[in-house]
Structure 1
Amino acid sequence: MKGNVQNRVKFVRWPAESDVREECRALHHLCLLIVEHGAPPPEQLGIYEDWVRPPIIPEDLQARVRQLADRAVVNAKPVLDPVGILYYKDSSITLSPTQCEMLTPLISRYSQLVYRTELREILEQSGSSSSSNALDLHVMRLRRRLQLVGLSLRNVWGRGFVVEPL
């Protein structure tokens, strides 16, 4: 299997090892629950979880493991949807239209520098004031919102800003 994804997935007997499942949830580890005969499957699953009932054929098992790995990769980078909701890991926040416009280049170049001039142009195009003070005020408000989902908006002095994990 590509990158040996199966080694990153914990196989947990459900419900016998529910304590191991809770550990996996807390640490955001990939977890495949093996539902024991006669037991009901868990009512709610986290983004990093899936479940199967034995016996399961190897091809189906590999497909479930790959899906779990894909979910982890998708969740490693923030996603801004068209209606103004930012998703990151297990959290989400709603943003104003101006915040969405400013955040678009920051998310598309996640962990990379976005120049102040580019953000000032975005403010100008949206009809907002694009002065340095106005930009700093928008950045301060955006920084507070991003902290709620575990992201940081770091200032690169004299150049611009970078969005990265807290």
Structure 2
Amino acid sequence: MKIDTKNRVKFVRWPAESDKREQCKVRGHLCLLVVEHGAAPPEHLSFHEDWVRPPIVREDLQARVRQLAARGVLKSKPVLDPAGILCFKDSSVTLSLTQCEMLAPLVARYGQIIYRAELRDILERSGASSSSNALDLHVMRLRRRLQMVGLAVRNVWGRGFVLEPV
């Protein structure tokens, strides 16, 4: 079984190779720190780092690498987690329940048109007003939150909205 091919997870001995860790951060590489015997693990980890202490069972190591690889996907596509946190690239933002419900189809079909009627239906099911003005107000508030992570909701005149990077 291969552990590290296309995901490019870098294995770095901690603390002996702390300079390599910094290089990984600068280059945006995924990094698995192997904490040497007797050393304390790093206090702060970036979103693209994890650590293990040897000896580690092969299956556990593979699971850690898979988790890091999944985080690497966040660089190219937004991810909305069940707790209402939207992650994109190296940023995240917390959203309200209504914002999450509205954003879910936009994230699921990232870069594709979501029709106004679909978002109005979501508002209606949540018990909020589903008028055209109410929808526009919710989208405006959502746009403000999404700016924090480098995303935008673009109008597609007469049809709906598209979620895309700024």
Name the structure 2 match of 1:31. Answer: 31
**Which range is displaced more, 136-145 or 42-51?**
42-51
The 5 Å alignment of 1:15-164 reads 15-54=15-54, 61-73=61-73, 76-81=77-82, 85-89=84-88, 90-125=90-125, 126-131=127-132, 133-164=133-164
Q: Could you tell me which runs of 5 or more consecutive residues in structure 2 were left unpaired when the two chains were aligned.
A: none
Normalising by structure 2, we get a TM-score of 0.74
Higher helix share: 1
Paired letter, 1:128: S
The structure-2 alpha-carbon separation of the partners of 1:40 and 1:80, relative to structure 1 and needing over 3 Å to count, comes to: closer
- Shift in Å at residue 69 of structure 1? 1.5
Q: Could you tell me which runs of 5 or more consecutive residues in structure 1 were left unpaired when the two chains were aligned.
A: none
Number of aligned positions between the proteins: 162
Matched-pair contact (CA < 8 Å) for 1:121–1:130: no
Matched-pair contact (CA < 8 Å) for 1:123–1:129: yes
Distance in 2, matches of 1:38 and 1:11, equals 18
Matched-pair contact (CA < 8 Å) for 1:116–1:161: yes
- Shift in Å at residue 142 of structure 1? 0.8
- Shift in Å at residue 3 of structure 1? 8.1
**Which range is displaced more, 20-29 or 151-160?**
20-29
Matched-pair contact (CA < 8 Å) for 2:3–2:65: no
SS in 2 for 1:149: coil
- Shift in Å at residue 61 of structure 1? 4.3
Normalising by structure 1, we get a TM-score of 0.74
The structure-2 alpha-carbon separation of the partners of 1:27 and 1:139, relative to structure 1 and needing over 3 Å to count, comes to: farther
**Which range is displaced more, 11-20 or 109-118?**
11-20
The structure-2 alpha-carbon separation of the partners of 1:122 and 1:64, relative to structure 1 and needing over 3 Å to count, comes to: closer
Paired letter, 2:85: L
